[in-house]
Structure formats: C-alpha cells, structure tokens
Homo-oligomer: A and B are copies of this chain.
Amino acid sequence: MNLEIDSSGSVDSTPGFSAAGIACGIKASGLPDLAALVADVPCAAAGVFTTNRLQAAPVRFCKDVLAGEAANVRAVVVNSGNANACTGEQGERDVRCTSELAREVFALGRAKALVISTGIIGEQLPMEKLESGLKELGGLLGDGDGGSGKKFARAIMTTDTVEKNLALTFELGGVTVTIGAAAKGSGMIHPNMATMLAFFTTDAALSPLALALALRRVTGRSFNMISVDGDQSPNDSVFLLANGKSGAPKIENESSPGFERFCEALERAAILMAKKIAADGEGATKLVEIEVSGAASGRDAARVARSVANSPLVKTAVFGKDPNWGRIVSAVGYSGVDVDPDSVNIYFGDLPAFLAGEPAATSAAELAAPLEGDEVLIRIELGMGDEHCRFWTCDMTYDYIRINADYHT
C-alpha cells in the first residue's frame, strides 16, 4: 500500500480540523498543559480505553458520550499535569463542566466535546485556570499557524521528552485521504502521570460502527503491543475522529469496500505512534522490538512477547548491552503459555543465541553486536504453530529509577 508520511504533520493536518496548545497554569513548571482539537462539522468518533478497574473521571465521561453521541462529536479537550483520577464526585462535575465550557467557547452548537486528562492522580482540577485557558484556546484555533498541531502534541506531554505527531495520506476510493495523529506517553502506563493518550483524525467517511471496529482492531496491534514498565494507567485512551470531508465513499461496516484499506493505513499510523511512545519510555536509551513467531495462537504470541517485554531482567540486560538470552528463555518459560523449551529458538537480530534447548554456537562477542544500536530486535520462534506478533518496549536504565523515585520531590 502506497502511503505518504509527513513526520511533521499532526491531528490538524486532516482537512476540517484545527488544533491549538497553550500553558494555562495547571503545571507548576509553566510548561504547556492545555490543548484542543476542533472539527468544522460533527464527526463520527470512536475511543478505546484503559481496562484498569480504576478509571479516571474523564474516561468514564468519554465512554458515556461515545455510547450515545458517537456520530456527533466536534471537539476533544486535553489537559496534562492533572489526571482527574481518584477525585470523587468533584472530578465528575469538573469534567462535565469542562465539556460544557468547550461547547460554548468553541461554538459547537448541539455537538459534543470529549475531555481527557493526564498527569498527577488524586488532585482536583484547577477549574478557573482551565476556564480561562479554554477561552485563550478559542482565540487561537484556526488562526492558520502552521505550528499549532505540534503545539497540541506538546501541550499533552508529561514526562515525555519529545512531542509525538505525524500525518499520512493514501488513496481510498479514488481520492486522497489523510490520517493525522498525536500521542503522548512515556511510562507506558505510568499511573502517576496517568498516562498514554493518542488522537487520530481522518477525512475518510466512516460510520461510528466502522470507526469503532477499525480502532479496536488497530489498537490491538499497536498500542496494546507496547510496554514501558508493565504498569497500566487509569487514563489510557485512544481517540479517532472522522469528518468524511475527503469525499471517499462512506464505510458503513467491516464488509464495506475500503474498510480493510483504511485499517491498513490506520495501523501504519498507529504502529508508528506506538513505537514513538516505546522509544520515549522513561529513561530509555533503546527501542526493543520483540518478534514472536510459531505460536499456537495470536494470544499466545502476545503473552510471550509481553512476558519478555516486561521482564526487568531482560530490560536491564539490553541497557547493559548484554546478550543474556537465558533471561529471555526464562521469561518465555514463565509466560504461562504452553511451550516446550526444547523447540524454542532465540535470535538477536539474525544471530542465533539459543536453538532447540541448547546454546547456539554464536560467541557472546558476536551476540553483543546487535545490542550496540538504538534499536534492538529480539526474535523468538516457539515452534508450536503459525501465529505471530510484534511488540515494542525499551530498556530499563538508571534514569527510569531517577524519574520515578524523584518525581514528587
């Protein structure tokens, strides 16, 4: 599939969407902390949310909106610096109030504004700052500033070290369609800076049902396939808004022409964004790709990959450039998946480390070479079937400890 990728694009690269990001004083640091994405017309919208039993107030709010008004969304307001999680009834009131304010300030008419938050757990939102911030955003939207998509991406950051955004275009039903994206996340799930958010816009035309199906499928192969520390936040959310402006034929459901093609493009965008999050994992020096093949099921493949990706011993070994395949075999062994170690092969890049129950002939010095770069590929062949998956994580370093031990101080 031919795709044109614009690495400086963002959620407002899609025709019909504008974005802005500012500092409104939620963060003591004075860094940007409030962003808005607004569509010219009501959009179809879909969301995928954390499975944590603890769900932040804005997550519960967005689920409610999408349950009833998934064809009638025009805006997403995002604040960083405060997660609005563990905030009781006050938190519920604040998210509803923010949404109403946004409808007013952005003149959304009868359409809805979604609201999502990321940041510290257990503190109430500073609503006065948020209100004046929303008014400021209203004046900035659609001012034609070429950098506003990047400002959106920057205002949603917490411990992220770089903003994460891109856009891509592809052909669908004879016309050019855009997908714009922005995301944040550094501890994969870092409950304190609670945590991973991603936003996608498109001018393809999809029903809310088709949009939800596409987003769920793609999330399972991208954002659900990354991990920084195995923690999972009460705020994790992925949003997709479609305004249909491209003129491409409308995709009503899974069997509509164009559905598979749209999913393929969305998956490309989502995997690129997911890798940006894994690579910017707290304290990370390396992006680690784990490729599992020969699994009896896709679920088995993912369990094995997740077990290896979450092993502190594997992650510290990668940081130490130590081709410690024993730790990988062991993490495969305790993944809970039915495997026979005597049929497992492990490779660093293309170099075999462990073949069918015994150490391979590759020397430790040779095995260490693929660990020198910024990206490390670990391949695991299970020998149990034909299913496979790819999973991304990062190494675990002194800086991970520093960031997470010193955060409050």
Contact = CB atoms under 8 A, between A and B. Distances in A.
A87 B329 CA distance: 12
Contacts of A407: 317, 320, 322, 324
Interface string A217-236: 00000000000011111100
Interface stretch (A50-58, A137-145, A166-174): A50-58
Contact of A87 (B230, B358, B398): B358
A313 B53 contact: no
A53 B86 contact: no
Interface in A290-339: 310-313, 316-317, 319-320, 322, 324-327, 329-335, 337-339
Nearest to A232: B334
Nearest to A360: B122
A406 B332 CA distance: 22
B86 A357 contact: yes
Nearest to A322: B408
Contacts of A334: 51-54, 189, 231-232
Contacts of A55: 333, 341
Copies of this protein chain in the complex: 2
A74 interface: no
A119 to B, nearest CB: 10
Contact of A333 (B54, B320, B340): B54
A85 interface: yes
A194 interface: yes
Interface in A70-92: 83, 85-88
Interface residues of A, number: 68
Contact of A313 (B191, B310, B332, B409): B191
Contacts of A313: 187, 190-192, 229, 231, 404
A177 interface: no
A331 B233 CA distance: 8
23 contacts: A52-B334, A53-B332, A53-B338, A53-B339, A54-B329, A86-B329, A88-B357, A88-B358, A121-B326, A121-B329, A122-B326, A187-B313, A189-B330, A191-B327, A229-B312, A230-B311, A231-B311, A231-B313, A312-B396, A316-B404, A317-B407, A320-B406, A322-B407
B404 A320 contact: yes
Nearest to A344: B54
Given A330-B191, A331-B231, A401 B409 contact: no
A39 interface: no
Contacts of A52: 330, 333-334
Given A234-B333, A313-B187, A401 B396 contact: yes
A231 B334 CA distance: 8
A234 B330 contact: yes
Interface in A381-409: 396-398, 400-402, 404-409
B409 A230 contact: no
Given A86-B341, A357-B88, A409 B322 contact: yes
Contacts of A330: 52, 54, 121, 189, 191, 194, 231-234
In order of increasing CB-CB distance, the 7 nearest A-B pairs are A121-B326, A54-B333, A191-B330, A320-B405, A316-B404, A88-B358, A232-B334
Q: Which of A187, A398, A402, A409 has the most CB of B within 10 A?
A: A398
Contacts of A322: 405, 407-409
